[in-house]
């Protein structure tokens, strides 16, 4: 398990934004992963995706690593942000914009505003 934890830690530290998800950002394989990837894709965020379905050790390991029971899981600048519900709430409240700005992560502010307008 230590190897898995180290592997996850390396991925989280090496990328400004990482989404551990079911499927890939081009082809999500669950609705929750699709929602978070869709938000990031629409907002033009440059992020790495890790398909937990491709590696059962990573699939369980990420849950242990974050002490969070569900997937997807978003990390920004090495910090766990949350899963689908949290990312959805943060997107709609503007908190995700703030996090990206404070972290120096580029994103399309107009796209973020369009998401809020469509869901307001």
**Binding site: residue ranges?**
30
Tell me if the bond preceding 72 is cis, omega within 30° of 0: yes
* H helix runs in the chain, sequence order: 2-14, 31-42, 56-66, 84-93, 95-103, 109-119
Annotated binding site for [2Fe-2S] cluster: 30
């Amino acid at each position: 398990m230590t190897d898995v934890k180290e592997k996850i830690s390396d991925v989280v530290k090496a990328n400004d934004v990482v989404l551990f998800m079911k499927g890939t950002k081009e082809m999500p394989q669950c609705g929750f992963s699709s929602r978070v990837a869709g938000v990031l894709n629409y907002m033009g965020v440059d992020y790495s995706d890790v398909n937990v379905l491709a590696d059962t050790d990573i699939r369980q390991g990420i849950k242990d690593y974050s002490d969070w029971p569900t997937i997807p899981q978003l990390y920004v600048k090495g910090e766990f942000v949350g899963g689908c519900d949290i990312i959805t709430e943060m997107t709609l409240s503007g908190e995700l914009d703030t996090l990206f700005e404070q972290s120096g992560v580029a994103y399309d502010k107009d796209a973020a505003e369009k998401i809020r307008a469509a869901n307001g």
